[in-house]
Structure 1
Amino acid sequence: MLVVFKILCVALGILLILFTVISVIRTFVLPRSENVWLNRIFWSYIYRLFLKRVRKATTYEERDRVLAFFAPVIVVVQPFVYLALLVVAYTPIYWGLSIDSMEPGHVFGSLYEAFLLSGSSLLTLGYAPVNDLPNMILSFSDAAIGMVIVALFIAYVPTIYS
């Protein structure tokens, strides 16, 4: 039963990675406007937060001053959403690929350790060791995708303000 659950975790993690990467491509790379489901949900949540403040405004100028920050907040926070999704996506994959989750002292023995490895690999911190080849390859892909998202964001910001 545990093996089936681990396989399911790996499959769901891979699907979430694909979903996130496709969302990043459609948001930062595609040269036209695209309706991305993740962006729509994220933007509407942030917009609702802004509306709480806008409803307290009494003048048009005050509302305009508050809403002027909406787009910059979205642009700054959105890459963090993508990176957080990747940490969440890689965590069950690392856990699912662990050889023996019950073995004491095993690096990937718990979900916490899988989360630690996912975050360490994505942000290329390197403080969580990887000992076997499948997890090493996974760690490299985690780091590469994280760096590409940050690079795309760095390239994207000047183009929207030019």
Structure 2
Amino acid sequence: MNAGKTMISYHEWAMNTMLDHLNELPKEVLKNEIKSSYPSIAKTLSHILAVDTMWIQILEKVDLQQALQDAMSQIPFTDEYTIEEFKMAFKNVGSKYQTFLNKNLDLTVMIDVNNPWSGPRQTTFEEILLHVSNHGTYHLGNITTMLRQQNETSLMMDYSLFWYEDTTATL
């Protein structure tokens, strides 16, 4: 297995692990206002979902500007999701990544992206997959801090723990 595929599997595992954990906590934990990178756990999850959705569209050859607009237009709705709705939404976007990966495309193919904040550049499918995973991991760390600010426990989602959960996780 290659790094991009493995890291997307890790990303899906980490998101599911966090959502399962959040489902065990009091419901208000999801929407409580917190001083952090996003004002609530729900809004953080909504952001992760929007970015995951945007990048799978780009992998499917939708222009970055259009993918960004499509994904961001969903945020007012996804900000209000329950844990179960987030689980379903992440499952749906995860299945799109798996469908893309099951095509066995050359992940080193270069594509053009024009990021509104950074400008145009070329990148590979694999770099995008690595970015999606890294982006999710970063924001799961934010959620861990948000949980602690609410006196709730978090959980371990280290990549090394994933090795023991998924026997196919090798670079």
Larger radius of gyration: 1
Q: Which has the higher contact order (CA 8 A, sep 6+)?
A: 2
- Give the TM-score normalised by the residue count of structure 1: 0.31
> In proportion to residue count, which structure has more helix?
1
> In proportion to residue count, which structure has more strand?
2
